[in-house]
A and B are shown apart, each in its own frame.
Chain A
């Protein structure tokens, strides 16, 4: 499409505003984390640090349980991802391919389950996990996170499995392959893009979750990064240098994953309802 100079100028101007608005908080996060305290709390904000220091980063690693929280986040998100991929692909295969009563009810209840907000579920889940003796444990958080990853994974995979040619699977079944082998050897390899999407979202949604982590864990040894951050303020006093260093590290895993898998993102954003 041809554009006039005025249109081009307008596009460039709006883009510039959007980029500054989007990126400035990230810039300020990083820059704060390498400033000396007297500069951070000086009455005059400096856009570029007068002196550089890694003091806050060292403090973050040595004096706070941040590394433990980071490890916990990795364990919790990783386990949730693996479990939800396994549970999701089994169920999705049955719903997409096998014949049994209740398939369509299940498809519908998957969406409903996905949409039930954590604000409604967190209080009864708090009781349930308490009854199962899973409060203050990483297992408990994994169970809680499965409530949003499993419906998500299953629904997306049902949609994708339906696009995989059924003939290959039928041939395998005729050759005496069991359904589980057909799923593992034929359907899953052919569904690699969908598996990337569900793994990406299961991991990042778990990594970013806060309400369950805040409510179900108080022990620093099992808390993930999101809940740990809110414990870093002492009596409502913030050490902003340290805090922004933690913010930067805590943002890194999801940023890396979303950036690497950029072209798969749209499919996952709306449960596949908007085709990318």
Chain B
């Protein structure tokens, strides 16, 4: 590339000239644009073809009426209006909010306790950590089926044990009793989701310098003060990232509800991702189903925006 510059001071001195005469495209697109485009094309096919395009087509679909196998007709915002006016959808929104709030909150509390205890735990620490991580490693479907069996009305171990201990007078309908269903589902959500919090909090705890605690002990600080003034502030960056990621994942998960209750009894445990699945695939109303998660997307987009900022910052 430097050949056109022969005779300049730089090339006489054996240095690269400061200004290359590059092809125009290289100036416009960057030095390595040719190799780079070859390297990023496969990734762009996935990002654009299978994420961005489907996302945009979901928005387009939500502006149409379309059943599986049927023709699409543009209907404007009719799907959105239909959902907003539907009392079943309003109940789904409330259930989703409760489900996400308590799911995330409980996982946070149990995960923090688990991490603090494990951080202090007696040997063999690695074994305890490995065992406590197990629920997160297995498929959610398998965790949910296992609990469905534990929750079985008549043959389930939980119901039978309570009966045998005389704590209840009758079989407990963990999933069929309207007042218990959501709590029973949340217990499974917490069981399987807590290890994610625990592992990240453990990593956060390990990163807090031990000298801080020693200095605090010299000053006579107790357990509570050390926790409030050293541990918790040290964990804040991890806590923020974990809470944001987990809120997105918890809110958008349909697996526990699908396996444990299919939204029952009488729809009390329907969360929006399950409602979307039911509407689009089981009722075959694709367009209305696609509209359901989009109604919640603005909330999600706010979290995604802040989370992305954090991730780029960390990098």
Contact = CB atoms under 8 A, between A and B. Distances in A.
A266 B241 contact: no
Contacts of B18: none
Interface stretch (B75-83, B101-109, B155-163): B155-163
Nearest to B198: A18
Nearest to B110: A18
A255 B40 CA distance: 33
A124 B290 CA distance: 8
Nearest to A233: B145
Contacts of A45: 155, 157, 160-161, 164
B294 interface: yes
B138 A210 contact: no
Contact of A270 (B58, B147, B245): B245
A274 B134 contact: no
A72 B91 CA distance: 38
Interface string B172-207: 000000000000000000010000100110111011
How many B residues touch the partner, as a band? 35 or more
A120 B293 contact: yes
Interface stretch (A48-56, A91-99, A164-172, A188-196): A91-99
Nearest to A158: B315
A244 B149 contact: yes
A25 interface: yes
Contacts of B113: 14, 18
Contacts of B133: 258, 262, 265
A150 B47 contact: yes
Interface in A112-129: 112-113, 115-128
Given A22-B131, A100-B30, A154 B43 contact: yes
Given A99-B31, A111-B312, A3 B120 contact: yes
A110 B241 contact: no
B280 A123 contact: yes
A210 B141 contact: yes
Contacts of B87: none
B11 interface: no
Contacts of B143: 25
Given A147-B50, A210-B139, A243-B145, A120 B308 contact: no
Interface in A4-27: 7-8, 11-12, 14-15, 18-19, 21-23, 25-26
Contacts of A94: 32, 35-36, 39-40
Give the interface centre of B46, B120, B241, B286 by most chain A CB atoms within 10 Å: B46
Contacts of A63: none
Nearest to B161: A45
Given A3-B120, A275-B203, A28 B135 contact: no
Contact of B149 (A207, A210, A211, A243): A243
A207 to B, nearest CB: 7
Contact of B146 (A29, A124, A143): A29
B86 to A, nearest CB: 18
B232 interface: no
B238 A274 contact: yes
A113 B120 CA distance: 38
Main secondary structure on A side of the interface with B: helix
A225 B142 CA distance: 10
A158 B143 CA distance: 33
B142 to A, nearest CB: 5
A107 B143 CA distance: 34
A240 interface: yes
Interface in B299-315: 300, 304, 307-308, 310-312, 314-315
A270 B140 CA distance: 18
Contacts of B207: 275
Contacts of B120: 1, 3, 7, 11
A210 B253 CA distance: 10
A143 B50 contact: yes
A273 B310 CA distance: 8
9 contacts: A18-B114, A98-B31, A117-B251, A119-B272, A125-B54, A127-B286, A207-B139, A240-B155, A274-B200
Interface of B: 28-33, 35-37, 39-40, 42-44, 46-47, 50-55, 57-58, 61, 113-114, 117-118, 120-122, 126, 128-135, 137-143, 145-150, 152, 154-155, 157, 160-161, 164, 191, 196, 199-200, 202-204, 206-207, 213, 217, 223, 238, 241-242, 245, 248-249, 251-255, 258-259, 272-273, 276-277, 280-281, 286, 289-290, 293-294, 297, 300, 304, 307-308, 310-312, 314-315
Given A1-B213, A266-B199, 10 more contacts: A22-B191, A87-B43, A90-B39, A91-B44, A115-B307, A146-B46, A150-B46, A243-B149, A247-B145, A262-B130
